[in-house]
Amino acid sequence: MSGRAEAGRFRRCAVLGLAAVASLSAGCAIVGDRRIPVAHFTDAQSEGIRPGETMRRDVLERLGPPDGVVRDGSPPPLPPGGVGQGAVAYRYDAAECNFTVFLLCGQGGCIPLPTTPVMTTRSLWVFFDERTGAVTRRDVESTSREIQMPEVPWSGDQLH
Amino acid sequence: MSYGRAASLLALLLLLGGCFAMRDRRAFDEPLRPDRVAAIHPGVTTRFELLKAFGPPRAVARPGTTMTFPPPGGWRSGGESVPSEAFLDLFKAKRPLRPSEVVFYYEASTQKETGFLVFPLVGGGSVTREAVVDRLFFLIDEGTGRVEDVILRRAE
């Protein structure tokens, strides 16, 4: 058999193979779902807060009012390491929920098969010297946990 | 056209045939209209006029108290507890506050949805839903009954 004929047969096989894969997987989809219910700070805003330079007024102008105000002896939630005497800490929250949905679709509709949602919550803690109003340090605390589907933000909103 | 090129074109057409992008917004609250905000004049507008224009506030921040109000975006039940100091500090950063000054807080949240999906062959895509919250703060002197200052923070 000549080389040209062999190449032609290979091309035909490749096209048929592609068509077979396409028809087998038709109606299936993998969709990433990301839900952001709270975003009171971004990474860029957090990085823009510089201890020794940024003042409390700057933080309020850039981020708005905090979600929490903590001093030494305040009730939880407290920042890691606590708050020293003469200091005050502002807390800004952000949360994000991620999961993937495998959609098996046919003529009768779609069957969604979601993975376990993971909720990631982040808190930006900004510490000030209460007397001068200067930022003394900042920390970002992050926790992730698996949650149940009803706890997902806007859990009534489905893709199909 | 060669056989291979035609097959590639057909495959591309099939793959792109079911592609779509989406962009949607769903308002949970009545938007904070800029013309209404602009009609509030510090030192002139009274608390009565403010309430008439915007209705009851979501929360009122008074010195030494904690506010509890529903979280924005309608994504979960329960209340959000925020120390009033957080809202008062917004204005305190500009000038010292009088004990008779309080903050009226309004917000308008929207769910922004963006995404893309590829159908009907090997489908896939991504969807992002995000709560976008506009926040409006009025500093009011309860002694004089007038609006003293306004801060509007638009999410975008």
* A153 closest CB neighbour out of B14, B75, B85: B75
Prediction pTM value: 0.80
- How many Cα atoms sit within 13 Å of A24 on the Cβ side? 6
Nearest CA in chain B to A157: B129
| CB-neighbour burial class of residue A121 (10 A; exposed 0-12, middle 13-18, buried 19+) | middle
Question: Taking a contact as any Cβ pair under 8 Å apart, which residues of chain B between 35 and 94 contact chain A?
Answer: 71, 73-76, 80, 82-83, 85-87, 89-90, 93-94
Asked if pLDDT for residue B69 goes beyond 50, the answer is yes
**Lookup result for tokens 């708005």:** A64
**Interchain CB distance below 8 Å, A30 and B124:** yes
pLDDT digits (tens, 9 = 90+) for A101-121: 988 877 777 788 999 999 999
**What whole-number distance in Å separates Cα of residue A95 and Cα of residue A59?**
20
What is the pLDDT at residue B114?
A: 93
Listed range (A67-76, A117-126, A127-136, B75-84) with the worst mean pLDDT: B75-84
User: Phi-psi region for residue B136, left (φ > 0), alpha (ψ -120 to 50) or beta?
Assistant: beta
| Whether the Cβ atoms of residue B105 and residue B61 lie closer than 8 Å to each other | yes
Residue type, A8: G
What is the helix (H) or strand (E) element at residue B103, kind and residue range? strand B101-119
Does A23 score more than 60 pLDDT? no
Sequence-separated (6 or more) residues with CB below 8 Å from residue A44: none
Is B127 within 8 Å of A34 when comparing Cβ atoms? yes
At B27-64, the pLDDT tens digits run 888 889 889 999 999 999 999 999 999 999 999 999 99
Phi and psi of A87, rounded to 5°? Answer: -115, 160
Tens-digit pLDDT profile for residues B80-137: 788 898 899 999 888 999 999 999 999 998 889 999 887 656 678 899 999 888 999 9
Task: Test A18 with B123 for CB contact under 8 angstroms.
Answer: no
On chain B, the residues whose CB falls within 8 A of the CB of A157 are 129
- B84-92 vs A56-63: helix axis angle to the nearest 10? 110
**Does pLDDT of A145 surpass 50?**
yes
Q: What is the mean pLDDT of chain A?
A: 85
For residue A4, pLDDT beyond 80: no
Which pair of tokens denotes residue B50? Answer: 């403010």
What are the DSSP E strand ranges found in A61-108?
A: 68-71, 87-106
> pLDDT per residue over A52-86, tens digit each?
999 998 999 899 899 889 988 888 888 888 888 88
**pLDDT > 70? residue A159:** no
Kindly list the residues from chain A whose CB atom is less than 8 angstroms away from the CB atom of residue B89.
56, 60, 65, 69
Choice among A9-18, A40-49, A64-73 with the minimum mean pLDDT: A9-18
Pick from B121, B143, B148: which is nearest to B40 by CA? B148
